[in-house]
């Protein structure tokens, strides 16, 4: 397959960013049919907890991001996104033909490994290939795809579930194989990230000369890099607890706590993601123009506000309240900002590895939460879980409201120099060899 080295930045962004559609599609496809799969497979609360902990939304993706990030920095962005989707298609096929719980669980675990690795490679690639003045717009387009996936999947699930039951949900999963195959074929023609390629050549030369040591997690977890890791985990990992609850359990919550039918639950969830698409568009329009800390303060607060509704006793919940939650919760921008900042705030030399680590932490925490939240709902009631989700949302918001950076219009190299300096004080450099080493991104 001949590489297209003249491909426009937007075409690269779209092809790379479609992993977000595939990732989100697999999450909400399972959510749309969770009640039916529970009945078909006879899952108890413990099995549902294990499924939530190892699915593509949590543990599987966490491990995939950790592994994929290192491979991405070592062998290139293209290496990961050329092969990850082949693994993804295998996992989805297992779910399509699943007849027992282990098969269903294993399929989700494989999907998670694939999307975790692919997301890190794709998000990094998008940021590195995007024009500096429109980086947020390009990064936001991946989130547009992420929100569009659930909107379309849930909208299609309503008639298919009603008409065919569990078969309808299998069809939804099957369409993801078709989309993944199309994206995989298109990616074969894409070039490598020029930023990574140039930096890798310089890095290999300096390592051969003994002037630069190989990156380890000790390098990443100290100095400026450690502060960045803590900041990103603070806003994203904590926010992702309520977000992952919504992504995987929301139709189930609408049905079993809000007393809605499956059709109505999926309708509300679909509407939520339609408004999430609008939020992604707002981010694309304004994150390159407005002060990003201000933008985060405004939109980051809605996560905690929306979950307050579910802290009310079940008999006080009114249909308008469920509609209010559906609309208000859609205006969160934490994931858009996380994608942008995790690509901007680390040097190119270990950008994907560091991003993979923060993504791993976020999804691993979500995995633990996904395991225990069915137990909390079963033994303590969903109101207890909702109170905890409000607290998590507040913590995430306050961290970003205080420490959010604003690097609009700057190149990745400028941002790296401002944060780390020309000497790259956070890297493993031999103490006698600080002479003009500038492998910056």
388-438: per-residue pLDDT in tens?
Answer: 999 999 999 999 999 999 999 999 999 999 998 864 444 444 444 433 333
> Of 45-54, 74-83, 184-193, 221-230, which has the strongest mean pLDDT?
221-230
Q: Specify the pLDDT at position 435.
A: 39
Residue 258 DSSP SS3: coil
State mean pLDDT over 269-283.
Answer: 88
pLDDT tens for residues 324-333? 999 999 998 9
Band (pLDDT 50/70/90 cuts) for residue 61 is: confident
Of 65-69, 216-220, 233-237, 298-302, least confident by mean pLDDT is: 216-220
CATH node for 9-191+213-420:
1.20.1250.20
How many angstroms separate the Cα of 204 from the Cα of each of 201, 209, 215, 317, 408? Answer: 5, 9, 12, 61, 31
- CA–CA distance, 260 with 266 (Å, rounded to integer): 10
Averaged pLDDT for residues 260-269: 86
Asked if the model's pLDDT at residue 212 lies above 80, the reply is no
Enter the pTM of the model: 0.85
What the block records as the tokens of 186 is: 């298109």
Q: What is the pLDDT of residue 366?
A: 84
Res. 363: pLDDT tops 90: no
Q: What is the mean pLDDT of the chain?
A: 86
Q: Which of 60, 201, 69 is CA-nearest to residue 122?
A: 69
Give the pLDDT of residue 2.
Answer: 60
Q: Which residues contact 327 (CB under 8 A, 6 or more apart)?
A: 271, 272, 275
CA distance 416 to 292: 18
pLDDT given at position 5: 64
Average pLDDT, stretch 6-33? 84
pLDDT tens digits, one per residue of 100-153 = 999 999 998 999 899 899 989 999 999 999 999 999 999 999 888 888 887 788
For the cut 90, the answer to whether the pLDDT of residue 231 exceeds it is yes
Q: 226: number of CA atoms within 13 Å, CB side?
A: 10
Residues 163-191: what's their mean pLDDT? Answer: 92
pLDDT of 4 reads 60
């Amino acid at each position: 397959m001949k590489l297209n080295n003249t491909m426009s930045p937007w075409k690269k962004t779209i092809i790379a960013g479609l992993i977000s559609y595939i990732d989100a599609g697999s999450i909400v496809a399972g959510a749309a049919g969770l009640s039916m799969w529970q009945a078909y497979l006879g899952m108890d609360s413990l099995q549902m907890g294990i499924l939530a902990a190892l699915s593509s939304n949590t543990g599987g993706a966490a491990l995939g991001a950790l592994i994929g990030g290192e491979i991405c920095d070592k062998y290139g962005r293209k290496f990961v996104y050329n092969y990850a989707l082949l693994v993804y298609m295998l996992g989805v096929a297992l779910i399509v033909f699943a007849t027992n719980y282990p098969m269903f669980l294993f399929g989700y675990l494989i999907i998670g490994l694939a999307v975790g690795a692919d997301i890190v490679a794709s998000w990094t690639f998008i940021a590195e290939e995007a024009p500096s003045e429109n980086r947020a717009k390009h990064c936001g387009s991946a989130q547009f795809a992420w929100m569009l996936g659930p909107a379309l999947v849930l909208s299609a699930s309503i008639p298919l579930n009603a008409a065919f039951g569990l078969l309808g949900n299998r069809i939804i999963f099957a369409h993801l194989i078709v989309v993944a195959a199309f994206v995989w074929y298109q990616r074969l023609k894409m070039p490598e990230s020029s930023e990574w390629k140039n930096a890798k050549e310089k890095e290999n030369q300096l390592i051969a000369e003994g002037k630069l040591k190989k990156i380890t997690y000790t390098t990443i977890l100290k100095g400026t890099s450690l502060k960045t890791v803590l900041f990103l985990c603070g806003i994203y990992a904590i926010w992702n607890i309520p977000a992952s609850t919504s992504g995987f359990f929301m139709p189930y919550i609408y049905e079993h706590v809000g007393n809605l039918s499956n059709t109505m639950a999926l309708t509300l969830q679909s509407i939520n993601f339609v408004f999430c698409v609008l939020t992604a568009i707002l981010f694309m329009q304004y994150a390159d123009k407005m002060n990003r800390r201000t933008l985060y303060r405004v939109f980051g607060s809605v996560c905690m506000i929306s979950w307050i509704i579910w802290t009310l006793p079940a008999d006080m919940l009114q249909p308008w309240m469920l509609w209010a939650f559906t609309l208000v919760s859609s205006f969160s921008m934490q994931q858009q900002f996380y994608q942008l900042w995790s690509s901007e705030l680390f040097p190119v030399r270990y950008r994907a590895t560091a991003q993979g680590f923060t993504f791993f932490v976020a999804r691993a925490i979500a995995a633990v939460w996904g395991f225990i939240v069915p137990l909390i709902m079963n033994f303590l009631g969903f109101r207890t879980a909702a109170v905890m989700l409000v607290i998590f949302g507040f913590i995430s918001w306050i961290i970003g409201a205080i420490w959010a950076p604003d690097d609009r219009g700057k190149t990745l190299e400028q941002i790296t120099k401002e944060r780390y300096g020309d000497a790259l004080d956070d890297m493993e450099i031999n103490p006698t060899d600080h002479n003009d080493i500038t492998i910056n991104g």
